[in-house]
Structure 1
């Protein structure tokens, strides 16, 4: 190959790398309130697992069919997250998010938290689909699962601009923004 052709090929390399990088990006939770990237913590064979973690954890994606309920099958201890009884999930660390009310820093009043978002509860009773109508401008996030039935985004709960839906026994609190 001649020197001119080699230079031309090397010139295409950055373009190819950028094109591939655009297709391989993972979902990030860095919206100014959460640290970069989720941390996965898994309870295998129903055993308790400890995962190193700094900051206030928020469950962002449940991976297991077993329920991940804060204070029951997952929680925080000094320097980490613990999971048990088959809970497998991804967590992000909050930073600078104010806490109002009691409980686990999520505000026991069920209302607005400093203008960040409205907290709503939505329950699938008798395993039936239920829609909880609320205007959603940005997104909805599960902040606390209250059911023993797993709440898995896209399977047993989801959202659109008109509200949150739950199904198959999922009962949870959601922050809508």
Structure 2
């Protein structure tokens, strides 16, 4: 396999690793620019060498397609979450209550009356939405999607959100498959 020199570190990197790094940056939610010249030189900015080493240490290339597929199916449902990979696990990201409601419905749960897409729900309504997601996901994929429910923050004007706990790759695949089935059943507009 041909090898290429990284401009950032001066180390030798196989061309496959260059592609994996490019995909991994995107999958890990790192907003850095990665480019590969025709000569195979990798340029990363604004990452420092230490950040690159830390990232590569936690990267699981086999999970990158799983994360990409999850991100794509979430976008198909109108959810702009940023799933990432770290320490061999998939972190699904943080979800607004409207997104939690959308996920619950896509997984076969009932809609939550009174959960308005345009306003921040009160704490009991947010808790109810999370419970509906747990129940719907347990039924649809055999795993309860749970997380940390973050309250509304008046000082930073941050709405209530659910940060889902990390998932194993098999659970993530089942979630992606269930959401793909729901997207294929949805009426086209």
TM-score range (shorter-chain normalised) is: under 0.3
TM-score, scaled relative to structure 1? 0.28
TM-score, scaled relative to structure 2? 0.26
Max Rg structure: 1
